[in-house]
Structure 1
Amino acid sequence: MKKISTIISLLLIAGVLISCNDLLVENPVGLATADSYYSTPKGIEDGLKATYTPLRNFYGREHSFFLTVTGTDMYTNGFGGATNNPDYNNYSPNFLGSSAYVKTIWDNFYVGINQANAVIGRAPKVAGLNAVQRNRIIGEARFLRALYYFHLVEQYGDIHFTLEETQGVETEAKRTSVATVYQQGIIPDLQFAVANLPAKAQAYGQATKHAAEGLLARVQLTLGNWAEAEKMAAAVINSNNHSLVKNYSDLWDITKELNTEVIWSVQYTDNPLTNGPGNQGHLYFQFDYTLNPAMTRDVANGRPFQRFMPTNYTLNLFDLSKDSRFDGTFKTVWIANTKATINGKTVQPGDTAIKIVMRPVADAVQKAAPYWLIDYNNKWVGSVTDQLEIGGSSRRQFPTLKKYLDPLRVSVNAEDGRRDFMVLRLAEMYLIAGEAAFRQGNLTKSAEYVNVVRTRAALPGKVAEMQIKSADLNEDFFMDERGRELAGEMLRWYDLKRSGKFLERLKKFNLDAAANVKEMHLVRPIPQTQIDRVTNPGDFPQNPGY
């Protein structure tokens, strides 16, 4: 990890459900064993660092975007998604326990949970630590364990649950209810972390008290514990350790990623020796600008995989006359980097090559423009055939999400992006507090929280027009506002699930998913490899319908 060492413990013990004794070794520590190495202050710190490692196999990775961003009201398959992995978004009958990405996430988080269990169980026995150091180490591990279990229960429902380290091979597993995992695992873990972590990290990227409060606020919102959700979100807001950046677009400036709004982020680096696969988000939300004759692939514009395309709902969500977040979120203009002819006119490097506008444009105007002028006619983006319309060229052309663009990659084809992944940021805390206050009937306070975010989002001179009143608040408003603020940030699938409007909104706004999505899809299939390898399959059934 950047700023946190990338040392991976000699004994990153496979999770209880992986039944594997392979060792992942980056910086070997002689012939040390877990018993001897983890018994020292340095050893247990290295064990803690290894507990962070699974974060990089989730945040900013293709499999995780497919299971958090697509298959929602906001994103559907682009050309690359439809060609390579259509089933996750479309909820097709081919979405099964044998689907690769459900296995990847399952295995990855159980590795993290077992590593956290190892640290939590062994830290009390380590000599040479004072109480504050010991509780900080345990608090970080419990924060990470809570995060890993949160993803697992939300994705899969009832899961195997253990708070003890597995040191050998186990072949039996049982499914524990979601409620039990929350009440006996996630919530007490986060409460301990809140009580024992420092407000400011020793090294950037470490979990802090405010990160634990922020995650607990998200958890309590998910569970419908409105007062607790507001309390935890407000604790972060009122801490004075975080503040919104002035301009929404600055959040996605890669040179400004160490900013005051970040509560906690997963660290990536420009060092290829320690960056692993990197943050690969820059690959997946891209318009294929290389179809334009005046554009060739370059580092600044990125490598376009076109996996994920915004739905009409997303494109219609922003009021461009007053809200800066559309332009802050999406790239809609590309500058030529090679000489070409477009519509009979010579285009030189530095000229506009492509421009997307969010309104219909007459054909004659499009044909007269000295660049591709791509318009929007509010046709379902998946059925557009006109090349000069959003969704055209078989789902290749659409506004590009800026949030993961990485112009600092080392080469044109490099996949290992160096951008940190913001997991928790302050704007979400205002939205959580606002929604929680609304659910408790405190509409005035709710509007106050939300208006802080909307004030930052306002275009110059439009602050007054961006303010909302109590009468504007309802459940759909909060879903829409979270969409405007948090588009593409790996939260939407969870938001839809907790909203109770998963099916309604999928059928209304994602026409690729509408025909297939059912109640069963509120949880993913358990990986078939997991079911196959337990010796008590009667206690570990597949989720209904898969």
Structure 2
Amino acid sequence: MKTKYIYLYLFVALSFFNCESFLEEDPRSLVSPETFFASENDARQAIQGMYAILKNNSIYGQVGLDHFYDNGADIIEPNRAANFVEPIGNYSMNEALADVSVQKMSVSDTWKDLYRVILNVNVLIDRVTGNEAIGNESVRTEIIAEARFMRGLCYWHITNLWGDAPYYTEVLTLEEISALGRTAEATIIEGTLQDLQFAQDNLPSVYPDAERGRASKWAAAIIMAKIYMKQQDWQQGLAKSEEIINQSPHSLLPNYNDVFDPSNEYNAEIIWSLDFARDITGQFDPAFPGRAFAGNSNWRPSMFNPRLRDEPLNTDERGALRDALTARGEAFNGTGLQVASQDFAEKFPLNDLRREINIVNNYLGFDLVFPYMAKFWNLSLEMSPRFNHSDNRMVFRLADVYLMAAECENELNGPTSKALNFMHAVRSRAYATQAEWDITGVSQQGFREAMYDERKWELAGEAHRRYDLIRWGILLDVVQNLEYRFWKPNENIRPFHVKLPIPLQELELNPALLESDPTNNGYR
């Protein structure tokens, strides 16, 4: 059955076609496997091209998805009134602002790049299916499974950000592509679950060391569990979470801080982490000499690293702080645009051992102006220079799954020993004594409310918070009861802000996008 999709920025070069003339032809005439994929290596390189898009600034490379999943909630805010994070964080977004791009980051850029991956996936599947030049059937199935994982991942993000959206899973002509409207979110999610289950069934459980940046079957499983939980299908959410806990090779680390050690980026707790490199010759942004494109190096640590000109609290000590950093081969050379929010810093329990790398307000003996999240720092001048970081981008880890399993069990049966065991597995490493981490005796509602905070402390800044607050139905209440440094999101937020507007240029190019919802998610 033909499904629907829209991609109105087809002039953007496709990652593995690398050919502008493609846009002048009928895609159906270009899908011959013999023409484009003559070997397994060709198909593998196409998959690598899709990973490169995922690492763009608009998605995982800087704060593309972070804009929606973290900013405007109760964990992160900038250390100054920065324009490019303001519209979402301050709930002043509109259709026109959705098109404004700064450093390849905007609502429009995210929209385009997510659909760019989807378009490439559809063509790749078409060309790999039945193509005997590409290995045996097992090889082709694994390639298709990895592609379907990416399609499922992208459609999951699309439904989170826009709800009803264009949807298609096959190769369409340009005429068809340019005239499609929005498909119901429930329909997209149904297809997304099918893609992700196929991926889980056919992807490896682990990869060789040189390929560990690829998504395994467990990355597919965790997205499925999250979808079930959003649907309040607690039984399937629990079953999928337990599959990961009991069958995957992943395990919780004894020490929380070790999870974020940049020298051990593929530790046992990490389910999926995108691999970045630095100093890729010939891949630097011409607009910023010496600054690498995010598809190769990771910009995100620079967003969490402090700026020296903002610190320390006693400005007379700035030179001394610089000297102390230099002596360690470090620098405060970031932007400071992702720091702990005022509310988060004030409420983080003082006896929680996780606090020391989530709230840093003193470094090397110098009191700091802002509370920084050192779990995402990398101050090393040699290993992680500004805007040229090799640090991985963590996407999913096992502690998240334990908390998901605990929540599902509580919703099904209350705070049973099973629910408590899942919760305590995470909390026990966060406190010095059992008296501090044991929550035995709470009611079902008490457990639910404890989970609201536990996921905040454990997963701070890991791009889960707004998703959680929205699925719990408490985003509006939480934001309205907070105080912020520079903005007034507590005054600006409205119920429709659980979704983003489709960018104005997309609407102008394809009015069909407004047929099912003339309000554009409430923004007009």
TM-score bin, normalised by smaller chain: 0.7 to 0.9
Could you list the per-position Cα deviations for residues 273-323 of structure 1 after superposition, in whole angstroms to 9, with x for gaps in the alignment?
3773222222223444444322238662442312233234312443222x2
1:197 paired residue number: 203
2:117 paired residue number: 112
Could you list the per-position Cα deviations for residues 328-352 of structure 1 after superposition, in whole angstroms to 9, with x for gaps in the alignment?
32333323xxxxxxxxxxxxxxxx2
1:430–1:452 Cα contact (<8 Å) kept: yes
1:22 paired residue number: 13
Amino acid at match of 2:409: A
Q: Secondary structure at the match of 1:474?
A: helix
User: Offset of 1:48 from its aligned partner?
Assistant: 1.8
Q: Secondary structure at the match of 1:59?
A: helix
Q: Secondary structure at the match of 1:121?
A: helix
Q: Secondary structure at the match of 1:264?
A: strand
1:146–1:190 Cα contact (<8 Å) kept: yes
2:522 paired residue number: 544
Give the one of 259, 271, 274 matched to 1:263: 271
User: Offset of 1:38 from its aligned partner?
Assistant: 2.1
Give the one of 327, 335, 349 matched to 1:319: 349
2:300 paired residue number: 281
Could you list the per-position Cα deviations for residues 76-131 of structure 1 after superposition, in whole angstroms to 9, with x for gaps in the alignment?
332153x5542221112667444441101100100011111122222212104323
Q: Secondary structure at the match of 1:255?
A: coil
2:249 paired residue number: 241
Q: Distance in 2 between matches of 1:499 and 1:212?
A: 22
Q: Distance in 2 between matches of 1:409 and 1:137?
A: 38
1:488 paired residue number: 461
CA RMSD, aligned part only?
A: 2.7
2:367 paired residue number: 355
Q: Distance in 2 between matches of 1:239 and 1:85?
A: 40
Could you list the per-position Cα deviations for residues 121-175 of structure 1 after superposition, in whole angstroms to 9, with x for gaps in the alignment?
2221210432322221111111111111111111111100001134646321210
Q: Secondary structure at the match of 2:146?
A: helix
1:248–1:328 Cα contact (<8 Å) kept: no
1:15–1:112 Cα contact (<8 Å) kept: no
% identity of equivalent residues: 26
2:415–2:447 Cα contact (<8 Å) kept: no
Q: Secondary structure at the match of 1:424?
A: strand
Give 1:35-434 correspondences, 5 Å limit: 35=32, 36-57=35-56, 58-81=59-82, 84-92=84-92, 96-100=97-101, 101-128=106-133, 129-166=135-172, 168=174, 170-183=177-190, 185-202=191-208, 203-239=211-247, 241-273=249-281, 276-277=293-294, 278-290=297-309, 291-292=311-312, 293=318, 294-296=320-322, 300-321=330-351, 323-335=352-364, 352=365, 354-355=366-367, 397-408=369-380, 410=382, 414-434=386-406
Give 1:392-541 correspondences, 5 Å limit: 397-408=369-380, 410=382, 414-444=386-416, 445-459=418-432, 462-471=433-442, 473-511=446-484, 512-534=488-510, 536=512, 538-539=514-515, 541=518
Q: Distance in 2 between matches of 1:51 and 1:310?
A: 32
Q: Secondary structure at the match of 1:509?
A: coil
Q: Distance in 1 between matches of 2:274 and 2:264?
A: 15
Q: Distance in 1 between matches of 2:47 and 2:124?
A: 6
Could you list the per-position Cα deviations for residues 44-84 of structure 1 after superposition, in whole angstroms to 9, with x for gaps in the alignment?
22222222222102114133322221101222332153x55
Q: Distance in 1 between matches of 2:307 and 2:214?
A: 37
2:289 paired residue number: none
User: Offset of 1:248 from its aligned partner?
Assistant: 0.6
Cα distance, 1:181–1:404 mapped onto 2, change above 3 Å: same
Could you list the per-position Cα deviations for residues 8-60 of structure 1 after superposition, in whole angstroms to 9, with x for gaps in the alignment?
xxxxxx973323263557999xx9x7631225322222222222222102114
Q: Distance in 2 between matches of 1:77 and 1:402?
A: 15
Q: Distance in 2 between matches of 1:50 and 1:24?
A: 5
More displaced 10-residue stretch of structure 1: 422-431 or 48-57 = 48-57
Q: Distance in 1 between matches of 2:16 and 2:413?
A: 53
1:10 paired residue number: none
Q: How many residues are paired up?
A: 468
Q: Distance in 2 between matches of 1:501 and 1:171?
A: 37
User: Offset of 1:405 from its aligned partner?
Assistant: 1.5
Higher share of residues assigned helix: 2
Q: Distance in 2 between matches of 1:416 and 1:251?
A: 22
More displaced 10-residue stretch of structure 1: 86-95 or 128-137 = 86-95
Q: Distance in 1 between matches of 2:199 and 2:157?
A: 18
1:218–1:229 Cα contact (<8 Å) kept: yes
User: Offset of 1:409 from its aligned partner?
Assistant: 5.2
Q: Secondary structure at the match of 1:125?
A: coil
Q: Distance in 1 between matches of 2:42 and 2:197?
A: 26
Q: Secondary structure at the match of 1:423?
A: strand
More displaced 10-residue stretch of structure 1: 405-414 or 304-313 = 405-414
Could you list the per-position Cα deviations for residues 389-409 of structure 1 after superposition, in whole angstroms to 9, with x for gaps in the alignment?
xxxxxxxx2221123212345
